[in-house]
Structure 1
Amino acid sequence: MASLNPLSETLGLRRAKHLLRRASFNYTKEQLEVFANLTAISALNILSSSPANKLAEPYDPLPNGSPDGFWLSSTEHPNTFSGQGRKRSYITAWWWYNALNEVSLKHKLSFFLHTCFTVGKDSGVGLSPFFYDHIRLLDFYALGNIKTLAKKITLDNGMLDYLDNTQNNKNNPNENYAREYLELFTILKGEQIGEGNYTNYTELDIQQAAKVFSGFKKKYDRNGDIDSETNLPTGYINVSQHNTDDKTFSSAFNNKVIVGRNDVAGIIEELHEFVDMVFAQPATAKAYCRKLYRYFVKSTWNETIETDIIEPLAQQLINNNFEILPVVVTLLSSEHFYDADDGDATDNTIGAIVKSPLQLLSEVCSMFEVPIPDPTSDPLRFYNNFYQRFIHQTYIKAAGMEMYNPDSVAGYPAYYQEPSFDRIWFSSNTLIGRYKLIESLIIGRNTITPNANIYVQLDTVAFAENKIEASDAADPNNLVLKIADLLFPEAIDESRRDYFKSFLIEDSNDYYWTGAWNQYLNTQSEADKTTVKTRLDALITAMVNAAEFQLM
């Protein structure tokens, strides 16, 4: 029986690695040591905090000589500034930098909400300020109420543009947003049982929903219409373009009638009544809990998991009026999450997910303390030279994931496409991007596309000196095992240890590495550092690119 009972014992290293990877983009030895000595509930209490962003807002260091700077704080019209595509990428750099530097569920859940309420930053979301407001809206509700977000998102300027609802008028209806709202964002289709009937809703419901959403318009200047709860700019309602007729829904929603209104307050009431109607259906809570399970635990499950895990979580979500955090805490502190509810080694959750390119990048940068340029003191190198040119335009694309820019409104295939799901991240098309990430960081140059300086260099010698006990670092067997303990979900056996050790000693005996390491420690000479660095570079590259590190 799968169990949502909380894990009672201290996590230990194996389970701490599992939780920290799944719940945060900040994955360090120091955090592992803290979490290993905590219970799951205590660890989740830490992860449930909502720290202030380390980086307050994005900065554009271009054009050279006269940078646009903090353009998002400008009172000028959003279309005043050029380079909107570049600026949208800088917004993802700002988001990632905060996610990388804060130990919080907020960022994992914010990205989860992006997979639920998808926009494409370069495929219709509009000018960069509207994308920024959209990301901040997801951040605001990441630890909050998903039903409230489902109401607010309809007046989000980026969403209004992305799915054309700003063009949805009473005399010229546009059903794009209404269709995706039901099919992808909330209740989902269910099995098709007839012409225009998808179990959970019908084509009639899409038409009626579009009438509810009619007259919701994008506010181009971001001034004046500010949401009182989020303090974010919103769209507005053009009453004259709203369909004021009553909206009658199908038997899927018990033939609910939403009375048409003809003023702003009344139209907002229509919206809220519609969202409440959708969220009153048990299928909506189940849809979100299945997505949460796939995002945090594993991509497939059986009827036992559906009955013992998904359905109770869905009921908890309903009982908490769609507050997302209590449900996530229940899931991530459960015996089931830590493989402690059965003895079936073929059905483990630990190591069951292929890392996304975002997760892979974040783990490498945080665990190895990659010296990323400071976005405050050196914004050109952070935003443009390192993030824009290497991460955004090269690595993340080559690895099969564009940040906040999936191919379609359905989102990233790894989160919905059967039967492969997260296995999609790891394919013949993405291998070069994934494997060359660590190589590029170690040599400080982009090896995915020709040899550009990335202004970042990972120091494997410093990692061994600072993160591994001195006696273990000098012993090639212990060094490999200690690094494996940090990097891999599960312990490695003797044959894998010996395989990785070969990158340190090549065809020599163990004492070759011990002698070389101790000589470097004694002399601190560049020549001796180069000797050990060559071997450590090879070892770290092999371990990061190993199958074990691709999993979490």
Structure 2
Amino acid sequence: MASINPLNGKLGLRKAKHLLRRATFNYTKEQLDIFANMTATEAVNSIATNPTNVLSEPYDPLPTDAPDGFWTSSGQHPNTFSGSGRKRSHVTAWWWYNAINQVSLKHKLSFFLHTSFTVAKDLGVGYSEFFYDHIRLLDFYALGNIKTLAKKITLDNAMLDYLDNTQNNKNNPNENYAREYLELFTILKGEQIGEGNYTNYTEIDIQQAAKVFSGFKKQYDRNGNIDADTNLPTGYLNIYQHDTNNKTFSSAFGNKVITGRNTTTGIFEELDDFVDMVFNQPETAKAYCRKLYRYFVKSKWDATIETDVIEPLAELLIDNNYEILPVVKKLLTSEHFYDIGDGNETDNIIGALIKSPLQLLSEIFSIFSVSFPDPKTEPSLFYKNFFFWFIHGTYFKAAGMEFYNPDSVAGYPPYYQEPNFDQIWFSSNTIIGRYKIIESLIIGRNTINPNAKIYTSIDTVAFIEDKIAIDIAKDPNTLVVQLAELLYPESIDTDRANYFKQFLIEDSNDYYWSGAWQKYINTHSEDDKLTVKTRLDALIIAMVNAAEFQLM
């Protein structure tokens, strides 16, 4: 039986690895050691905080002769600046830098909200400032209230542009946002039971929702409207373009009638009434809990999980008026999350998900303590050379994930597309990007394309010296096992360890590596370091590109 009762006792290494991977983008040996000595509740509470960003805002180092700098806080009109596409990538660089430099659930949940309320940064959100405000809105509610976000997102300038609701008027209705709001963002379709009837809502409901949303417009001047709760710029209401008639919904919503209003206060009350109506449906809570389960636990589940896990979590979400944190805490501290008590050894949760390109990248950078240009002191190297050209423009594209830019409003296929789900991350089209990221970092050049300097690299010798005891590293057998324990969700067997050991000893015996390592420790000469580094480079590339590391 799958139980969402709390897990008792210390996590230990295996469960600590599982939690740290699933709940954060910062995976380090130091944090594993801390988590291993905590209970699940203690560990989750420690990351369920809202830290101040280590990088306060993005920076544009271009044009070279007069950088636009901190353009998002300049106070100037968005149309003042050129290079909006470049600037949107710098916003994602800012977000990722914060995500990998903090051990926080906030960033994992912020990206979850991106998969739930999708916009694509280069496919219709407009100005880079709009996209920046959108990301900050998701960050603001990452540990907060989904229902409140579902109201606020309607006035988000990026969303207004992306799904055309800024063009939605009483005399010329545009149903794009209304359709996706129901189909993708909140209650979801359900099984189609007739023409225009999707169980959870109907085409009539889309038409009526569009009337509720009519008159909300994007605001070009970011100083024009500031939301009192988030302190973020928002769109505005054109009261004269709002449909003031009553909105009558289908039997899916109990034939609810939302009274039309003709004042600013009244029209926002219409929006409140509509959101309340949608979120009062039990299927809305279930939809979010299924998304959370797929995001944090597994992409597929059976009827038992639906009954024992999804439905109780949905009830908890409703009981907490759609506060997300109590539900996520309940899930991440449960026996079920850690594979306890389900009685099925062939259906494990630990190691059951294929890492997204974002997770893969973030783990590699954090576990190997990869240094790269500091955005505060070397903004041009960080934003332009390292992130824009290598991470954003090369790695993510090659690995099959346009970062914050899915090709449709449905989002990234691994989070919704049956029957393969997360398996879509790993295919013949994405394998080059996934495999060459570690090679690029060790060589210090972009081996994916176009073989340019990337301004970062991994010193594998320093990594071993820092993370593995020197005496342990001398024994190739123990070294491989220790690395596997650090890198992989599960322990490896002797045959697998012997396979990896060959990258250290080649066709020699164990003493070849032991002697080379000891000689380096004694001399620390460049020649002796090169000898062990060559072997360690080969080992690390093999272990990172192994199937075990692709899983979490």
- Identify the TM-score tier after normalising by the shorter chain: over 0.9
Task: Letter of the 1:230 partner, please give it.
Answer: T
For 1:394-473, list aligned pairs within 5 A. 394-473=394-473
Corresponding position of 1:87: 87
Of the structure 1 ranges 61-70 and 208-217, higher mean CA displacement relative to structure 2 is found in 61-70
Corresponding position of 2:383: 383
For 1:184-333, list aligned pairs within 5 A. 184-333=184-333
TM-superposed deviation, 1:343:
2.9
Corresponding position of 1:537: 537
TM-superposed deviation, 1:342:
2.2
**In 1, Cα distance between the equivalents of 2:377 and 2:216?**
41
TM-superposed deviation, 1:247:
0.3
After superposition, give the CA deviation of every residue in 1:195-239 in whole Å (9 maximum; x if it has no partner): 100000000000000000000000011112000000000000000
For 1:91-110, list aligned pairs within 5 A. 91-110=91-110
**In 2, Cα distance between the equivalents of 1:75 and 1:42?**
42
**In 1, Cα distance between the equivalents of 2:79 and 2:363?**
36
Task: Letter of the 2:401 partner, please give it.
Answer: M
Give the 3-state SS of the residue equivalent to 1:437 in structure 2: helix
TM-superposed deviation, 1:323:
0.2
Gaps of 5+ in 1: none
After superposition, give the CA deviation of every residue in 1:238-258 in whole Å (9 maximum; x if it has no partner): 000000000000000000000
The CA RMSD measured in Å over matched residues stands at 0.5
Task: Letter of the 1:497 partner, please give it.
Answer: A
Task: Letter of the 1:145 partner, please give it.
Answer: N
Corresponding position of 1:157: 157
**In 2, Cα distance between the equivalents of 1:372 and 1:96?**
13
Corresponding position of 1:346: 346
TM-superposed deviation, 1:297:
0.1
**In 1, Cα distance between the equivalents of 2:450 and 2:210?**
49
Give the 3-state SS of the residue equivalent to 1:341 in structure 2: coil
Corresponding position of 1:7: 7
Task: Letter of the 2:393 partner, please give it.
Answer: Q
Task: Letter of the 1:464 partner, please give it.
Answer: I
**In 2, Cα distance between the equivalents of 1:250 and 1:544?**
53
Corresponding position of 1:139: 139
**In 2, Cα distance between the equivalents of 1:341 and 1:79?**
58
**In 1, Cα distance between the equivalents of 2:343 and 2:98?**
38
Give the 3-state SS of the residue equivalent to 1:58 in structure 2: coil
Corresponding position of 1:361: 361
**TM-score where L is the length of structure 2:** 1.00
Percent identity, aligned pairs only, is 76
TM-superposed deviation, 1:65:
2.0
Task: Letter of the 2:147 partner, please give it.
Answer: K
After superposition, give the CA deviation of every residue in 1:143-188 in whole Å (9 maximum; x if it has no partner): 0000000000000000000000000000000000000000000000
Task: Letter of the 1:88 partner, please give it.
Answer: R
Gaps of 5+ in 2: none
**In 2, Cα distance between the equivalents of 1:338 and 1:366?**
23
**In 1, Cα distance between the equivalents of 2:66 and 2:519?**
50
TM-superposed deviation, 1:76:
1.1
**In 2, Cα distance between the equivalents of 1:20 and 1:449?**
31
**Shift >2 Å, 4+ stretches:** none
TM-superposed deviation, 1:66:
1.0
Task: Letter of the 1:296 partner, please give it.
Answer: F
TM-superposed deviation, 1:341:
1.9
Task: Letter of the 2:375 partner, please give it.
Answer: P
**In 2, Cα distance between the equivalents of 1:22 and 1:79?**
40
**In 2, Cα distance between the equivalents of 1:380 and 1:482?**
38
After superposition, give the CA deviation of every residue in 1:244-276 in whole Å (9 maximum; x if it has no partner): 000000000000000001111111100010000
TM-superposed deviation, 1:450:
2.5
Task: Letter of the 2:209 partner, please give it.
Answer: A
After superposition, give the CA deviation of every residue in 1:13-49 in whole Å (9 maximum; x if it has no partner): 0000000000000000000000000000000110101
1:117 matches 2:117: yes
Task: Letter of the 1:7 partner, please give it.
Answer: L
**In 2, Cα distance between the equivalents of 1:321 and 1:516?**
62
TM-superposed deviation, 1:372:
1.5
Corresponding position of 1:148: 148
Task: Letter of the 1:189 partner, please give it.
Answer: K
Task: Letter of the 1:333 partner, please give it.
Answer: T
Aligned length: 552
**In 1, Cα distance between the equivalents of 2:377 and 2:2?**
50
1:528 matches 2:514: no
**In 2, Cα distance between the equivalents of 1:54 and 1:401?**
25
TM-superposed deviation, 1:84:
0.4
After superposition, give the CA deviation of every residue in 1:269-315 in whole Å (9 maximum; x if it has no partner): 00010000000000000000000000000000000000000000000
TM-superposed deviation, 1:5:
0.4
**In 2, Cα distance between the equivalents of 1:108 and 1:546?**
25
Task: Letter of the 1:381 partner, please give it.
Answer: L
Give the 3-state SS of the residue equivalent to 1:124 in structure 2: coil
Task: Letter of the 2:449 partner, please give it.
Answer: T
Corresponding position of 1:174: 174
Task: Letter of the 1:32 partner, please give it.
Answer: L
TM-superposed deviation, 1:96:
0.2
1:47 matches 2:47: yes
TM-superposed deviation, 1:439:
0.2
Task: Letter of the 1:143 partner, please give it.
Answer: L
After superposition, give the CA deviation of every residue in 1:360-416 in whole Å (9 maximum; x if it has no partner): 000000000001211000111111111000000000000000111001000000000
Give the 3-state SS of the residue equivalent to 1:206 in structure 2: helix
Corresponding position of 2:485: 485
**In 2, Cα distance between the equivalents of 1:393 and 1:458?**
21
**TM-score where L is the length of structure 1:** 1.00
Task: Letter of the 1:295 partner, please give it.
Answer: Y
Give the 3-state SS of the residue equivalent to 1:6 in structure 2: coil
